[in-house]
């Protein structure tokens, strides 16, 4: 390797490391809900941006590679780290709330950010000869920086990954006389049950409940999810069994190739998936799919392109896709997983834009935003039910509205961590069961949802599992 080539590689390292770090950081921070296959495209995009920036400045500066490295590094910081700056300000001003709402509306903040980095680039360009000696200590510091997310990923693999044990799921005989109604399973992500809303939020959701009951729904008063997070709850529910491992590849496979969908496809159903971007289930085994990757959206939102994104679009598109799903020929099994009232908080109670509030700190202020978004979610899911019922043919559809878990309450409201985790299991469940007088028992957990439906409509003998719960979410 000649000296010139080694010099180029050495100069290229700082902008490349700075570009790769935010992608690796976000991936390691969300590793429990992501697979490595989702990492490669953002990494390639980050690496390409560093290469383009470096060679652009090298061309402008007539091959002053040390100066090109410095300016490219500054440009990479300006582009890839805007979202982190934005969220830092959110943490500082979250209690007041109005600050970020105003900045997110008129995008003043991104203009100020671009101006500051533009000035820094010009100053660095003028004094580039003086700044050259910092290149080596900068490279060393960046090596240490990259070790942080890489170390987190290694620690995750040794700490959380478990051996995937084989799991035998119950089978059921075909029933030639079973009716074939369309089946809709709607998941309002993180929707708490009525008791939690009343006790901790002072909110009475009886209007929403009465709207559903007037359409024939039965609401389960004491409904619980078996796990506190989507990545465990949905695979367990769809497979009608408790999980034997917390390994992500295992739970993702269970979610995608789930027993409920397989059972229905064997009986002539078309599997349709509608989603707003969750990485837990993407519908990759569905016959028809309306969704896209959420991790790519997260990465893009952290860049300077973030203000150009509308975080509401995927949610609103998913609700629109429900109508498209109703027009598909049946019989069909439709899973609808929409990340609302789950974070980020971007909707007011009437659907107005309130800014892009990450809501990851579970503060009392976050709960105010959660409640407003929940009220809007209730309206949209009621509209979705009306759309489904209006499109129904001669055989009325089965419709289940069931959240994957409840809300994670602030420590200021419930100080005990174990008690707070148990409260997060209290989800919302409502069943529309045409032609049947049977209803789920009032004490109910999500693992038995499809066991109940299949026994009721397909004359199977799955029966109920004993209710068990894992508030910690990992000790199976």
- Alpha carbon distances (Å) from 145 to 14, 25, 68, 72, 136: 11, 10, 21, 18, 14
Question: CA–CA separation, 93 vs 80, rounded Å?
Answer: 22
Q: What is the per-residue pLDDT for 212?
A: 97
pLDDT digits (tens, 9 = 90+) for 314-359: 899 999 999 999 999 879 999 999 999 998 899 999 999 887 777 6
What pTM did the predictor assign?
A: 0.73
More confident position, 391 or 159: 391
pLDDT tens, position by position, 116-171: 888 887 777 766 666 666 777 888 888 898 999 999 888 877 765 544 344 444 44
Q: What is the mean pLDDT of residues 402-412?
A: 94
SS3 81: coil
Q: Taking Cα atoms as reference points, which of 220, 225, 260 lies closest to residue 439? A: 220
If you average pLDDT over residues 46-72, what whole number do you get?
Answer: 86
**Cβ neighbour number for residue 105 with a 10 Å cutoff:** 11
Residue ranges of the alpha helices (H) in 285-440? 294-301, 313-326, 364-391, 417-423
The average pLDDT across 161-185 equals 57
Residue 256 above 50 pLDDT? yes
**Is residue 89 pLDDT above 90, yes or no?**
no
Least confident of 41-45, 249-253, 306-310, 410-414: 306-310
> Does position 403 have pLDDT exceeding 50, yes or no?
yes
Query: Is the CB of residue 31 less than 8 Å from the CB of residue 70?
Result: no
Radius of gyration of the chain (CA): 25
Residue 21 CB burial class (10 angstroms; 0-12, 13-18, ≥19): buried
Give the mean model confidence (pLDDT) for residues 67-73: 85
Residue 57 to residue 149: CA distance in whole angstroms: 28
Q: Residue 182 pLDDT > 70, yes or no? A: yes
> Which of 34-38, 200-204, 309-313, 395-399 is predicted with the least confidence, judged by mean pLDDT?
34-38
Please give the structure tokens belonging to residue 235.
Answer: 């695979």
Q: Where are the domains of the chain?
A: 3-159, 183-458
pLDDT computed for residue 57 by the predictor: 85
**pLDDT band, very low/low/confident/very high, at 473 (cuts 50, 70, 90):** low
Q: 380 CB contacts (<8 Å, ≥6 apart)?
A: 319, 340, 351
Residue-level pLDDT at 157: 75
Strand 183-188, strand 353-357: pairing? unpaired
Q: Is residue 70 very low, low, confident or very high in pLDDT (cuts 50, 70, 90)? A: confident
Q: What is the pLDDT of residues 288-325, one digit of tens each?
A: 988 766 677 778 878 888 777 777 888 999 999 999 99
Partners of 184 in beta bridges: 334, 399
Nearest-10 Cα torsion for 160, 255, 435, 328 = 150
The confidence score (pLDDT) of residue 181 equals: 95
pLDDT: which is higher, 26 or 453? 453
Give the mean pLDDT of 91-118. Answer: 58
What does the pLDDT read at residue 23?
Answer: 92
Which of 156-170, 365-379, 446-460 has the least mean pLDDT? 156-170
pLDDT of residue 17: 93
Question: How much of the chain, in percent, has pLDDT values that exceed 90?
Answer: 48
Place of tokens 């089965």: 398
217 or 139, which is more confident?
A: 217
Q: Are 328 and 288 in contact (CB under 8 A)?
A: yes
d(CA 241, CA 227): 12
Q: Which CATH superfamily is domain 183-458 in?
A: Alkaline Phosphatase, subunit A (3.40.720.10)
The whole-number pLDDT of residue 292 equals 62
pLDDT score, position 298: 76
Q: Can you give the pLDDT at residue 74?
A: 87
90 or 341, greater pLDDT: 341
Q: What are the CA-CA distances from residue 237 to residues 25, 254, 448 (Å)?
A: 31, 10, 7
| 128/197: higher pLDDT | 197
pLDDT score, position 262: 95
pLDDT, mean over the chain: 84
pLDDT at 247: 81
């Amino acid at each position: 390797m000649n000296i010139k080539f080694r010099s180029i590689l050495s100069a290229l390292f700082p902008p490349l490391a700075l570009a790769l770090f935010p992608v690796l950081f976000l991936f390691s921070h969300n590793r429990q809900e992501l697979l490595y296959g989702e990492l490669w495209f953002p990494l390639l995009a980050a690496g390409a941006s560093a290469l383009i920036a470096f060679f652009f400045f090298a061309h402008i500066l007539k091959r002053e590679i040390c100066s090109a490295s410095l300016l490219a590094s500054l440009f990479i910081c300006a582009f890839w780290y805007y979202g982190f700056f934005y969220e830092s300000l959110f943490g500082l001003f979250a209690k007041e709330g109005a600050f970020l709402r105003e900045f997110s509306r008129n995008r003043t903040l991104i203009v100020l950010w671009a101006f500051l980095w533009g000035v820094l680039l010009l100053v660095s360009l003028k004094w580039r000869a003086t700044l050259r000696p910092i290149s080596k200590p900068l490279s060393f510091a960046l090596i240490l920086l990259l070790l942080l997310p890489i170390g987190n990923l290694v620690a995750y693999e040794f700490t959380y990954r478990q051996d995937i044990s084989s799991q035998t799921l119950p089978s059921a005989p075909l029933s030639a006389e079973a009716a074939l109604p369309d089946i809709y399973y709607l998941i309002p992500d993180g929707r708490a049950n009525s008791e939690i809303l009343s006790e901790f939020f002072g909110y009475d959701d009886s209007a929403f409940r009465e709207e559903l009951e007037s359409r024939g729904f039965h609401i389960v008063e004491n409904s619980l999810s078996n796990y506190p997070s989507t990545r465990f709850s949905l695979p367990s529910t769809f497979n009608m069994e408790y999980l034997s491992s917390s390994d992500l590849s295992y739970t993702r496979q269970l979610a995608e190739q789930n027993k409920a969908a397989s059972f229905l496809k064997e009986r002539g159903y078309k599997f349709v998936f509608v989603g707003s971007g969750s990485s837990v289930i993407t519908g990759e085994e569905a016959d028809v799919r309306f969704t896209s990757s959420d991790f790519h959206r997260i990465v893009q939102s952290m860049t300077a392109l973030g203000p150009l994104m509308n975080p509401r679009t995927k949610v609103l598109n998913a609700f629109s896709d429900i109508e498209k799903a109703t027009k598909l020929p049946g019989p069909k099994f439709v899973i609808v997983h929409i990340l609302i009232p789950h974070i980020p908080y971007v909707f007011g109670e009437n659907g107005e834009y309130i800014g892009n509030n990450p809501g990851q700190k579970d503060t009392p202020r976050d709960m105010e935003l959660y409640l407003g978004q929940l009220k809007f979610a209730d309206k949209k899911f009621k509209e979705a039910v009306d759309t489904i019922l209006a499109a129904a043919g001669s055989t009325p559809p089965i419709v289940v509205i069931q959240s994957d878990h409840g809300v994670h309450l602030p420590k200021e409201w419930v100080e005990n961590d174990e008690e707070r985790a148990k409260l997060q299991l209290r989800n919302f469940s409502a069943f529309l069961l045409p032609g049947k007088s049977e209803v789920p028992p009032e004490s109910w957990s999500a693992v038995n949802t499809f066991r109940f439906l299949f026994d009721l409509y397909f004359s199977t003998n799955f029966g109920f599992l004993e209710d068990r719960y894992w508030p910690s979410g990992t000790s199976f």
